[in-house]
Amino acid sequence: MDTCHDRTRFHVVKVIVLAMVFLLAAIASATSQTVKKPQNHKKIVGPNACAECHKETTEIWKKTHHATTFKKMPRSKEARKIANKMKIKRIKSESLCLTCHFTTQIKRKKKKPIAGISCESCHSAGKDWEKVHSEFSGKTEKTESKAEEAKRWKKSEKLGMIRPSAIYKLAKNCYSCHVVPQEKLVNIGGHPAGSAFELVSWSQGEVRHNVWYSKGKTNKQAGAGRKRILYITGLAVELETALRSVAVATKSKVYAFRMARRADAARKKMKKVAAALPKTGEVAKIVELGYSAGLKLNNKKALLTAAKGIASTSLALIAKYDGSTFGAVDPLIPNESKYKGKPPK
Ligand code: HEC
Ligand code: HEC
Ligand code: HEC
Ligand code: HEC
């Protein structure tokens, strides 16, 4: 009797454990957006289509590394070295390289690189929203009502457009390329594990193209409040991305070390932000989450849980604050001398 009872109980426990394993695996795959999702090639209209209206912006973009990499990268010796180690023949048809280095379109059923990193790499593939965002609800700039305008932007965002106001999404986009969560590409290919990226200094230099609303007259930097939010969001996304990147590490090699160091540096910087803003609970929470998971191999579950928490907390932070009361972080934000390059005007 007793043994039989024990056996049933053992069986029940086994079923529960199995169910939990499956559930955890499902959660892990749903939340681990570590590897960059390829662009929706079918919905790419290409920078020339945007240039029809955004002329000045396109002129600025053409001078950035994002544009020039299209011709330069595949021809560089460094690229050949990486490709050889990865046993890749044609860099321009290898989707691993295409996702971060190029904009691709489907042409005659084939994926074709048409530009470097372009408008839609950051603002998202335009086919569905391009028309909607620009047509003033079928009226003109002067006759469209405020309510219609609000509806137009809402619709554009629903169709995928990433507007400058969507700071978290923008930052996620930058980091999806500027941190490289491909262990083999780093350990075997010798590709950099990512850039020494920081959102304010990297977005306000050569990349800056705030020329649309000034009709090309000025290219002003983001305002003080926005810069503070850019800085904090950038750090939060950096930490989130680094934790996700540690989570997928399998070998005690250079990839794992770089990502762990990256996560550690980001949480230390976030600690400084928390010290500057002692009353902002969201920042304290991000720090706490950042230290909640050990930066080691085989710790996927804890690392992804922390990353997910950081994502939702940063979204809450951005929704609540515009940065106007965050002056205490100004000394932490890189100043103009640290910006990456200069825009042409
Ligand atoms: C037919 C002209 C036209 C084309 C083509 C066009 N845009 Fe625009 N775009 C506009 C107009 C007009 C506005 C400003 C709308 C307003 O003032 O409310 C705008 C605004 C924007 C903004 C600022 C949004 C904001 O939140 O203020 C972004 C970003 C943008 N466009 C990106 C793009 C990208 C990327 C493409 C190509 C995929 C593109 N646009 C193609 C006309 C166009
Ligand atoms: C996850 C995104 C990502 C992937 C995938 C990726 N790269 Fe990169 N790559 C980058 C980033 C970001 C940089 C810039 C790093 C820096 O700031 O120094 C870079 C830099 C480079 C450089 C040195 C700078 C240059 O552009 O000449 C080469 C060469 C290069 N990548 C080649 C490749 C090749 C070949 C592949 C495919 C096997 C590849 N990359 C895949 C993101 C990526
Ligand atoms: C590397 C990512 C990236 C690329 C590439 C990019 N943008 Fe942007 N765009 C941004 C960011 C970030 C902002 C907000 C900048 C800020 O707050 O200083 C922005 C702002 C804008 C604005 C608002 C400008 C204003 O006057 O306020 C427009 C319009 C725009 N982008 C259109 C484009 C077009 C068109 C292209 C291609 C020619 C393009 N962007 C390429 C990231 C990008
Ligand atoms: C689709 C991938 C991708 C996205 C998205 C992206 N970048 Fe890049 N970025 C790259 C690659 C790859 C390079 C290296 C290009 C080269 O030099 O060959 C680069 C280079 C740069 C550079 C020049 C760095 C230097 O060495 O001088 C700056 C600045 C930069 N990115 C800022 C940004 C910002 C800010 C964002 C987000 C608003 C962003 N990037 C989004 C892939 C990307």
* Whether 53 contacts 157, CB under 8 Å: no
Per-residue pLDDT, 345: 66
* 99 touches ligand 2 (CB under 6 Å): yes
Going residue by residue through the chain, which has 345 residues, state the pLDDT in tens, using 9 for 90 and above. Answer: 344 444 444 454 444 444 444 444 433 333 334 556 667 889 999 999 999 999 999 999 999 999 999 999 999 999 999 999 999 999 988 889 999 999 999 888 888 999 999 999 999 999 999 999 999 999 999 999 999 999 999 999 999 999 999 999 999 999 999 999 999 999 999 999 999 999 999 999 999 999 999 999 999 999 999 999 999 999 999 999 999 999 999 999 999 999 999 999 999 999 999 999 999 999 999 999 999 999 999 999 999 999 999 999 999 999 999 999 999 999 999 999 999 999 876
Q: Which of the ligands is closest to the CA of residue 58?
A: 3
**Closest Cα partner for 118 from 223, 197, 192, 207?**
207
Per-residue pLDDT, 109: 83
Per-residue pLDDT, 40: 82
Q: What are 324's two structure tokens?
A: 């106007």
Sign of CA dihedral 69, 249, 123, 41: positive
Q: Which of the ligands is closest to the CA of residue 125?
A: 1
Q: How many CB atoms lie within 10 A of CB 292?
A: 14
CA of 319 to the centre of ligand 1 (A): 23
- Residue having the nearest C-alpha atom to atom 38 of ligand 2: 97
Which of 36, 71, 73 has most ligand 2 atoms within 8 Å of its beta carbon, as the pocket-test mutant?
Answer: 73
**Closest Cα partner for 49 from 58, 60, 40?**
58
Distance CA 157, CA 16 (A): 42
CA of 126 to the centre of ligand 1 (A): 10
Distance CA 121, CA 66 (A): 10
**Closest Cα partner for 193 from 239, 231, 234, 246?**
246
Q: What are 56's two structure tokens?
A: 């000045």
Residues lining ligand 4, Cβ inside 6 A:
65-66, 69, 72-73, 100-101, 117, 121-122, 170, 173-174, 177-178, 202-203, 205-207, 340-341
Atom of ligand 2 nearest to the CA of 78: 29
Residues lining ligand 3, Cβ inside 6 A:
47, 50, 54, 57-58, 61, 66, 117-119, 121-123, 164, 170, 203, 207-213, 222, 226
Sign of CA dihedral 300, 302, 307, 312: positive
Per-residue pLDDT, 10: 44
- Residue having the nearest C-alpha atom to atom 3 of ligand 2: 100
* Whether 339 contacts 201, CB under 8 Å: yes
160 backbone φψ class: left, alpha, beta (φ>0; ψ -120 to 50): left
Phi first, then psi, for residue 139 (nearest 5°) are -110, -145
Q: What are 135's two structure tokens?
A: 């047509």
Judge residue 341's burial from the number of C-beta atoms within 10 Å of its C-beta, 0-12 exposed, 13-18 middle, 19 or more buried: middle
**Closest Cα partner for 185 from 69, 20, 34, 8?**
34
